[in-house]
Amino acid sequence: MEPTQHEENGRPAGYRRPERNRRRKKALGAAALTCALLALALVLAFCVYAYLAYRGGTLGGGDVRLGLTGVWAVAALALAGAGMGIAALFLKRQKKGMAITGLVTGLVVLALCCVGLYAYQYVFDKMKKDEQFAALPDEALKVVQIKPDGEIVRETEPLATTLPIEQIEESPYYKEIEWEPIDYQALPEEAQALLDAEPPKEPSYLRKGAEQVTNILLFGLDVSDASDSIILLSVDRAHQKIKMISLARDSYLWIPEFGTYAKLAYPYHWGGAQMAVGTVNYNFLLDVTDYIAVDFDQLAELIDMIGGVEVELDWDEIRCLQRLQSGLTYGTNRLCGEAAVYYARLRESSATDNEINRTGRQREVLTSLLQSARQTRIGDFPRLIRSCLGMCTTSLDAPELLDIALEVAQGNYTIESYSLLESVGYWGGIFGDAQYFYCVYDINRASDWLYRTIYEDLYISSYPD
């Protein structure tokens, strides 16, 4: 039956859909555009905030982590906008302008979110995190105990006699290396006097605010995985300082796992980061629970990546380095990676060279490395972090490293450099059948000096002077 002139598609002629229904269809396109524009506004707002905060030196890892979480929320909002835009396109009698704009804007924001997530993954996907170390309890790392009132528990054990080498070699930690166990009683009297020095009679304390200081051990490893360089890196947020303190590799310290004295360089070879960090904590009564280790060959690649490091050279050092790099002059020079690493590991450049000079060269290279990182263009910073992390093994996770990297890059902190041997009286000499060089010092005084340097006015010393 043909429809009459008064009907059209089953409806009376002149029929109009109720206004409410027409508004509902238009609202879907408007909602799509609103969601997409809101997502875009949030992305732009965070980018502007991050840039201004970085320029002002206030951008922190917490901001980036919050932004990373926000990316997922923005992506969900943009996806909702794009989805509503697509739905609106299939509705009849729907004006398509807002729907198409919402769809396109939502897809653009989604693309930006994907770029942001990829960039974060790009920076950190080469990071070698030591999950096993990160899971260790404080007891395994011999972390010093702090009482609720801030008192540092300094339980000083009497000096023990070195175990026979046969017993040491039976330890599950032991790996072959050229070394010689030497009982402290075989040391010269001057060295024994330092080890026998009386511990402080009064307790020491940490004030409130000491928790703002983070201590990390940096290890530079040689071909045998011994720590040829040991630097205590202290990130002091209370005083806005980054402090680098060299601990001499030849330090004569007690190795708890073996029941013997040995050089500080050896524990990393024997038991990896756990034994190395535990040895430092045990002897100096510290609270280190994180480390970064780098192979010296990889360090050379990193230095070349940033264009070298600036150091001050004397004629003896130039003589040792000239086969690696030509054109060196007395005073300030920019060294390539290979020459910089050789400079940091240089021994006996002259008859008056010593361990203090050597550790000073190491800190000089590291300080210049940090300063060069600060001058890196912001666009090159992700590539620099990615390459640096790919050369390191660490117990830190990505957000913690991001915090430190941002603090260094923004130049908020002054960088200070110290050497334990320069600040604490010590005996240094060659002894034993193998004629190895050792540094011996009053371990209690050394621990107290480290606390004074690291915590400054947040530490109350047990020594009156």
Q: Which two tokens stand for residue 164?
A: 């026979």
According to CATH, the superfamily of the domain at 131-460 is: LCP protein (3.40.630.190)
Q: Please state the rounded mean pLDDT for residues 233-258.
A: 90
More confident residue, 122 or 192: 192
**Angle subtended at Cα 409 by Cα 406 and Cα 410, rounded to the nearest 5 degrees:** 85
Q: Taking the mean position of all CA atoms in its chain, how far away is CA 362?
A: 18
pLDDT of residue 157: 61
Q: Which two tokens stand for residue 336?
A: 């390539």
Average pLDDT, the chain: 83
Three state DSSP letters for 231-254: EEEEEECCCCEEEEEEECCCEEEE
pLDDT of residue 290: 95
pLDDT of residue 188: 87
pLDDT of residue 26: 64
Q: Reading across the β-sheet that carries 151-152, which strands appear in turn?
A: 151-152, 204-206, 459-460
Q: Taking the mean position of all CA atoms in its chain, how far away is CA 268?
A: 19
Eight-class DSSP state of 151: E
Q: Please state the rounded mean pLDDT for residues 190-210.
A: 89
Backbone φ and ψ for 458, nearest 5 degrees, come out as -85, 5
pTM given for the model: 0.78
C-alpha to C-alpha distance for 87 and 28, rounded to whole angstroms: 8
Q: Please state the rounded mean pLDDT for residues 372-398.
A: 77
pLDDT of residue 233: 93
Q: What are the tens digits of pLDDT across the range 424-452?
A: 888 988 887 777 888 998 999 999 999 99
Q: Which two tokens stand for residue 278?
A: 């535990």
156 C-beta neighbours (distance < 10 Å), count = 11
pLDDT of residue 465: 73
Backbone φ and ψ for 160, nearest 5 degrees, come out as -100, 155
Quick check: helix, strand or coil at residue 68?
helix
Separation of first and last alpha carbons in the chain: 113
List the alpha helices (DSSP H) in 131-289.
131-134, 165-169, 189-195, 266-284
pLDDT of 284 > 90? The answer is: yes
Q: Which two tokens stand for residue 325?
A: 């790099």
Q: Please state the rounded mean pLDDT for residues 258-262.
A: 84
Task: Provide Rg for the chain, Cα atoms.
Answer: 31
Domain range annotation of the chain:
17-125, 131-460
Q: Residue holding tokens 């009849």?
A: 92
- pLDDT interval class at 25 (50, 70, 90): low
Do residues 100 and 85 touch, judged by C-beta distance below 8 A? yes
Q: What are the tens digits of pLDDT across the range 58-98?
A: 777 777 778 888 889 899 999 998 898 888 888 766 667 88
More confident residue, 433 or 418: 418
Q: Please state the rounded mean pLDDT for residues 9-29.
A: 59
Structural element, H or E, at residue 406: helix 398-409
pLDDT of 329 > 70? The answer is: yes
pLDDT of 218 > 90? The answer is: yes
| Range scoring the smallest mean pLDDT among 91-95, 178-182, 369-373, 423-427 | 91-95
Q: Which two tokens stand for residue 379?
A: 């666009």
- pLDDT interval class at 15 (50, 70, 90): low
pLDDT of residue 361: 86
Contacts of 11 (CB under 8 A, 6+ apart): none
- pLDDT interval class at 104 (50, 70, 90): very high
C-alpha to C-alpha distance for 42 and 39, rounded to whole angstroms: 5
